[in-house]
């Protein structure tokens, strides 16, 4: 598919539904993260369960990426339903994921106040930059691997456990590397959490 062909079919009704699903899903995910950290004692559990719900809600529409790293993984995988030659769709997915993340972060700030606004993944005290980088690299790979196997492999087609598997790998990742890197795994989540944190800190003594 050429760039011109990709653009020509970039805004069909089906494609627009995918973009809206990705926008809402990513916003919903960041909102859950912001509020879970301040209101629930076990945010790893609520985030994983929340993601599971979002995946089952919109997965049949957009493949439920909600993460630019997963969009990249799907692009590399190059399945028939997600051809890497559809350049316009790929670029728009990235755009709506980042915009959705920012929207979810701002909603979290509006609902949870400054405590929620300040929530963002960060390297924990005592963890080196190398440790944090390796933690994010390895566990992002694990997340992408699980998603590609349970959601794109035809040998597991039409399974109903894909949402559970993805939600639980996120929960276990937070438990494992939350104390190291903050467990982001998702640049849209990072952008969506850090922007409200920066704005909320402008007129305060909190350093981000």
**pLDDT, tens digit, 9 for 90 and up, residues 32-49:** 999 999 999 999 999 999
Q: Are 200 and 106 in contact (CB under 8 A)?
A: no
Tell me the mean pLDDT in the region 171-195.
Answer: 98
One-character DSSP codes across 131-152: HHHHHHHHHHHHHHHHHHHHHH
- Please give the C-alpha separations between residue 137 and each of 28, 43, 175, 185, in angstroms, as whole numbers: 24, 21, 16, 8
Tell me the mean pLDDT in the region 96-109.
Answer: 98
Which pLDDT score is estimated for 52? 98
Task: Identify the CA nearest to 22 among candidates 49, 62, 55, 52.
Answer: 62
Burial of 13 (0-12, 13-18, 19+ CB in 10 A): exposed
Model confidence, pTM: 0.95
SS3 80: coil
| Cα–Cα distance measured from residue 44 to residue 72, given in angstroms and rounded to the nearest whole number | 24
């Amino acid at each position: 598919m050429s760039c011109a062909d990709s653009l020509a079919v970039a805004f069909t009704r089906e494609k627009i539904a995918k973009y809206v699903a990705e926008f809402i899903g990513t916003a919903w995910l960041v909102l859950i993260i912001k509020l879970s950290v301040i209101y629930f004692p076990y945010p790893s559990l609520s985030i994983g369960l929340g993601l599971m719900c979002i995946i089952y809600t919109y997965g049949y529409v957009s493949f439920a990426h909600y993460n630019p790293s997963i969009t990249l993984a799907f692009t590399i995988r190059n399945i028939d339903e997600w051809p890497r030659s559809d350049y316009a769709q790929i670029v728009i997915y990235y755009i709506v994921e980042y915009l959705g993340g920012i929207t979810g972060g701002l909603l979290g700030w509006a609902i949870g106040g400054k405590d929620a606004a300040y929530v963002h993944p960060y390297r924990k005290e005592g963890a080196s930059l190398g440790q944090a980088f390796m933690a994010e690299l390895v566990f992002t790979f694990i997340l992408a691997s699980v998603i590609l196997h349970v959601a794109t492999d035809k040998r597991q087609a039409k399974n109903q456990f894909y949402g559970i598997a993805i939600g639980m790998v996120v929960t276990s990742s937070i438990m494992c590397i939350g104390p190291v890197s903050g467990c982001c795994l998702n640049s849209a989540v990072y952008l969506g959490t850090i922007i409200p944190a920066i704005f909320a800190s402008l007129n305060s003594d909190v350093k981000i």
